[in-house]
Structure 1
Amino acid sequence: MDKDEWQQKGAGHRQRLRDKFLAQGIEAFTDSEIIELLLTFGTPRSDCKDAARGALAKFKTLPAVLDASPGELQQIKGVGPKNIFALRFIQGVARRYLQQRIVGKHYVHSSRQVADYLIHAMRGLPHEVLRVVFLDAAHAVIDSDVVAEGTVTVNTVYPRELIKAALARNASALVIAHNHPSGALAPSRQDEELTRSLHLICSFMHINLLDHLIIGDGDQVYSFADQGLMARIRDECRRILERKD
């Protein structure tokens, strides 16, 4: 097969993938086919099948491929700067889509969508970050933002900055979330101390801390509220405030 024939065969294969998506949707694709098609956005005339298989073999899952750093992706044979740009761009688009989709929606009714966004935004990060979801008086989502990076503890999170960010958005309630790069979901003693401290500080400002979420591996999320820890912390903080009165 000469070069022209090879290019025509590759172009036909890529067109069949596009037609397959238009006709059947993403559900008809394997993870390898999804990665292959994304890679072709960077190099539309190249055969990306082997590179897609190599990426999936190395990182095991589609989310792990999209979360991989440029340096890690460059280790895959056949993956170059243009392919990496395509992967990083689509990952960024997905993140913005998930973030904007939750704005204005009632948190309680859309908690799964909020969790989906937080998982996508925080899973696979090499270091801990503390992200805050800001809510209005009706518990509709206003915005979300990272307020701390590094080891997330009472000593590394600055409550003043968190309250400042909440007041700037006229937020009446918050949901905080941080990731465990180790993948573990169980909260540490430091996680509980941080939640207690932030709940107490927010109470002084008449801001309600609704939940603390821990993002682990995959699609798993630990909720302080669902596990009863939030209610316990709320009771402890109320007793502290009553003693001050």
Structure 2
Amino acid sequence: MSPASASTGTQSIDRAADLVARVVRSDGPVATPALAESTGLARSTAQRLLGALERAELLARDEAGAWSPGPLFDLYASRRADDEVLVAAAGPAMRTLGEETGETVNLGVPRRGTVVQVAQVDAAYFLGSRDWVGTDVPAHCSALGKVLYAYGALPVPTGALDAPAPASVTSGDRLAEQLPGIRRAGWAATVDELEPGLTGIAAPVRVRGAVVAALGISGPTSRLSDQIPSTGALVATQAAALSARLENHPQEGAA
């Protein structure tokens, strides 16, 4: 790509972003002529960019042809609301699990093809796990992620996988081989797969039979390695309790 074409592409992105920002910040739908005038764009250019933004579901037209934020904004808002309600519902189970194990407790949800950790209860021990909320973690190296893979909440990757630690799973085929065992046990464990010395154990959270999240604990391998099955049973019990809470209060479930 030539410098001139690269510059033109960047200019188009900037113009499209400006249009989205103006529509989102507006108190109501905005007509194309008003957007063209406020941005200084030719009407044909504005229409072309608006059409592209509509196809990407960033903007949407009403019956009069005026522009409003598109369905992607609604989807994002609903998922954020779902996460907030899920976190509130998970509070008792997370606190109980923290009291039973003394370890760091995490709640993860499937987003954008990976696991996003949305809540944490810190370990009672001085030597505990770090704060994982908002941290990007390779899902295939995480007990939370393996649960979501095992129950179809995340698509299983193919080919080579990143290996942040010597014990990491390095291929989609190897990962897929582990998933039936996770389903049979009802929980997943990772030992030294994300980083040496760290063990994670997680179990599925369901709403109307579908797995929508994973509840888990993490802590030093030296403290957890000889009690993984019993800890897995504890985690699964609290994940089932959270699932029952969500079933009894459907408005608290994720979509």
Q: Same fold (TM over 0.5)?
A: no
Which of structures 1 and 2 has the larger relative contact order (alpha carbons within 8 angstroms, sep 6+)? Answer: 2
TM-score normalised to the size of structure 1?
0.30
TM-score normalised to the size of structure 2?
0.29
More strand by share: 2
